Structure 1
Amino acid sequence: MAIYKQAEVVRQNQSPAFDAIHAPRTPTPFSGIYRCEACGFEIVSSEDHPLPALHRQHPANLPIQWRLVVYAN
């Protein structure tokens, strides 16, 4: 889970960008923190860079799917 110290530097947003699920190796739509839907592992990815196809400690029987959790503006 992404954490922060200073609440004044983050803002809640209801954008549909936070609802989309992204497959591995697809270009990152927005720079920010992405969370694996299956295992909760989080990564940082820059816009247009491919989302990772592998990450540590992921269950072999579950697909890797990425969801934006923090948008880096």
Structure 2
Amino acid sequence: MALYKNSQVVKHSDHAAFDAIHNPGIAAPDAGIYRCINCSHEIGIAKGHTLPPQHQNHPDGVAIKWQMVAFAQHK
């Protein structure tokens, strides 16, 4: 689970980007923290970088699916 210390630097959002589920091997549509919905592993990734097709400690035979949990907003 993503953690934070200073609540003044994070903001709640209902943006649809948080609802999308992404397959591994595609370009991350936004920079941020993504979580595997099947094993809870989290990664930080830049926009346009490839979402990993595998990661450590993922159960064999279980699909890797990524969901954004924190959006890195650029101004």
Structure 2 partner of 1:52: 52
Q: If the length of structure 1 is used for normalisation, what is the TM-score? A: 0.98
Structure 1 partner of 2:42: 42
Q: CA deviation at 1:61?
A: 1.8
Structure 1 partner of 2:62: 62
Q: How far apart are the structure 2 equivalents of 1:46 and 1:25?
A: 14
Q: How far apart are the structure 2 equivalents of 1:15 and 1:42?
A: 20
Identity of aligned residues (%): 44
Unaligned regions of 5+ residues in structure 2, if any? none
Show CA shifts across 1:31-68 (max 9, x none): 00000000000001110111000100001121000000
Q: How far apart are the structure 2 equivalents of 1:30 and 1:56?
A: 23
Q: How far apart are the structure 2 equivalents of 1:29 and 1:56?
A: 23
Q: If the length of structure 2 is used for normalisation, what is the TM-score? A: 0.95
Structure 2 partner of 1:13: 13
Aligned-residue Cα RMSD (Å) equals 0.4
Give the match's secondary structure for 2:60.
Answer: coil
Unaligned regions of 5+ residues in structure 1, if any? none
Residue type of the alignment partner of 1:63: A
